[in-house]
Structure 1
Amino acid sequence: MSLTLQRIAEMVSGTVEGDPTYEVVEIRPLNSALESSLSFLSDSKYVQHLSDCKAGALLISADLAAQFAGNRIVVDNPYLAYAKVSKLFDPEPAPEVGIHPTAVVHPSVRLGVDVTVGAHAVIEAGTVLGDRVRIGANTVVGANVIIGADTCLYPNVTIYYGVEIGERCIFHSGCVIGSHGFGFANDKGVWNKITQVGNVVIKDDVEVGTNSTIDRGAIGSTVVGNGVKIDNLVQLGHNVEIGDHTAFASQVGVSGSTKIGSHCMIGGQTGFAGHLQIADGCVFTGQSMVTKSIPVSGMYSSGVPVQPSKEWRKWVARVRNLMDLQNKVKKLEKQMAGNSSD
């Protein structure tokens, strides 16, 4: 597929500086772009690559445009423009609309128009699939599930019974939605399972990465708000609530009944204890350990950045000695207080 720079500029509200009729057929990074490629520069630290860049055209901001001699589309936010244009060059094959002959679809299932159900998929009783829903091969959708229009479930996704999913959502292979939450009552050392009678409610425009899991509510719903983006290998416990447009990097774990606000950004391997309240707009850097509620938006950290092993060992040794040092300081303070009273 080839596109003129003028068409691309119109799509991203940009201005062409160069030949508006010039055509590109792909998107590539700066260091591998060809004359037939469109590329982008969103960070000034990569300006040094412009002198060797062979791209046919570049998405670039006004303050950096003069540093590239070729065709340019000048935009306010090159990275956002790249995101919009990338959809036009998507190489993913279009699905074959219809029900594969090996799929198992219960007679009571309600199907919208142009629904796709792949090979060996299973759709259980009472489920509703909206218009243009796409169910990948080997995916299982349990009973009484509701899936909104234009939502895509890639192969090998599992949606448990009673889950509600909005429109334009994406679920990548291996993710599990609506499995039982981790709920047990201890009786003299024996764990008794608490039946998880709630469900999961996922709103519109949510994306869930490969092998991520969202547990159903113990009582009531686990809720994921509009526009939430969840990376691979993320775990959301039962009755967790996530506000609109919050994003999770890989390997985040959120314990049961914690509520995270809107427009938060959660770095990789961050862990949340249960029953917390997190304010809107919080940013947690990677490996943060969140054990208390956060009532004020801001950036929070608790992970230890990497350093040379020799320095790290010295740091650990100093930390181990802090208690002894504190006791010595207290002892000296008492001595000084006694001397001053004399």
Structure 2
Amino acid sequence: MSISTRQASIKELANIVEATIQGDPETYISGIATLQLAGQNDLSFFSNRKYHKFLLNTKAAIVILHPDDLENCPTNAILSDDPYLAYARIAAWLTKSNTEQNEIASTAVIEDNVVIGKNTSIGANVVIGSGCQIGDNVTLHAGCVIADDVKIADNTIMYSNVSIYSNVSIGQHCIIHSGAVIGSDGFGIANEKGRWFKVPQLGRVIVGDNVEIGANTTIDRGAIEDTIIENGVKLDNLIQIAHNVHIGENTAIAGCVGIAGSSTIGKSCAIGGGAGILGHLSIADHVHITATSLVTKSITEAGVYSSGTPLQENGQWHKNFVRFKQLDKMARRLSELEKKK
């Protein structure tokens, strides 16, 4: 299947990423498709050698690829040292809408003292509370609820049914997907003779510029200090970020990660899906945590960190688990043998 785009020549596309061309400079495309499904009017890309066989037989008009793979390309090519990044930039340009919107739905509910910028679109049944400031070129899709005293900076998009609690600040050029909840109470409770007493959550959530927040991700407000998401952070779907967490700029976090309260994640980190990070920990810059890992202590140096047991055939896993339970006994026996030497 091909995704329709604006029409563009290979020269235009190469100029976007300052890349070189191999082939006919007047070749035009009007769609995007995978290597195996692309047709004569489509752009595609090759960045993973698992798909080498599809490159050899592609019908695409243009393929973005590394110069080392040019000899295997049967069609016109845009040559880039990072084909995937080049594709991302080109695809964003090809699919960017040029239509300006400046509509406020009749069913939107907006308090009188709200400031709304230029060329802003507000969809059906959106609710905007008192004291809010909405920047220029902001799009709020149907059903979004923005509580009192929220600030949303220019060029931010919120898809349907996003909920923003009071006193939250959202930066410029952010994308927030459906069902996300930002600024809800953190899990603060105190025990009084076996019963739980709610601790007021008085802080805010501060989201920087160029942040993307996935569907149904939740970010809790701080207990006293703020929860902070710095510039360039990318959050996948279904992530839980607890109160007082601080995530450094340009960190990417995959789906179903849980980060407990008052932990600090450094800059340019990558956290794999399903990982868990306990509270009150600190993770250094440039740390990569692989999927489903459990972080139980602070990480002070950059690097790749893992925990857990990868998938195995069930019978083999049971054997290994039995041996795992015997490790302490084996260690004691080994220690006794060493003493006898």
Task: Tell me the TM-score normalized by structure 2.
Answer: 0.95
C-alpha deviation, 1:44, in angstroms: 3.0
Residue pairs, 1:144-223, within 5 angstroms: 144-223=149-228
Contact 2:100 2:119 (8 Å CA) reproduced: no
Partner of 1:340: none
How many residues were matched structurally? 336
For 2:160 and 2:50, the matched residues in 1 are separated by 39
Partner of 2:274: 269
For 2:98 and 2:241, the matched residues in 1 are separated by 31
Give the secondary structure class of the aligned counterpart of 1:47.
helix
Partner of 1:11: 16
Larger Rg over CA atoms: 1
Contact 1:286 1:303 (8 Å CA) reproduced: no
The yes-or-no answer on 1:109 pairing with 2:147 is: no
The yes-or-no answer on 1:255 pairing with 2:260 is: yes
The yes-or-no answer on 1:224 pairing with 2:201 is: no
Partner of 1:242: 247
C-alpha deviation, 1:96, in angstroms: 4.1
Moved more, 68-77 or 296-305: 68-77
Give the AA of the match of 1:69.
P
Q: 1:231 to 1:95 in 2, by over 3 A?
A: farther
The yes-or-no answer on 1:133 pairing with 2:138 is: yes
For 2:193 and 2:97, the matched residues in 1 are separated by 55
C-alpha deviation, 1:304, in angstroms: 1.2
After superposition, what is the alpha-carbon deviation per residue over 1:29-83, rounded to whole angstroms, capped at 9, x for unaligned?
Answer: 1111111111111123322222211111111111111211311111221101100
The yes-or-no answer on 1:311 pairing with 2:316 is: yes
Give the AA of the match of 1:3.
A
The yes-or-no answer on 1:26 pairing with 2:36 is: no
Residue pairs, 1:57-68, within 5 angstroms: 57-68=62-73
Give the secondary structure class of the aligned counterpart of 1:185.
strand
After superposition, what is the alpha-carbon deviation per residue over 1:187-243, rounded to whole angstroms, capped at 9, x for unaligned?
Answer: 111111110000000000000000000000000100001000000000100000000
Q: 1:32 to 1:14 in 2, by over 3 A?
A: same
Give the AA of the match of 2:76.
N
Structure 2 gap segments, 5+ residues each: 1-5
Partner of 2:303: 298
Contact 2:270 2:286 (8 Å CA) reproduced: yes
Match of 2:42 among 14, 37, 48: 37
For 1:95 and 1:120, the matched residues in 2 are separated by 21
Contact 2:102 2:118 (8 Å CA) reproduced: no
Contact 1:75 1:81 (8 Å CA) reproduced: yes
C-alpha deviation, 1:165, in angstroms: 0.7
Cα RMSD, aligned residues only? 1.5
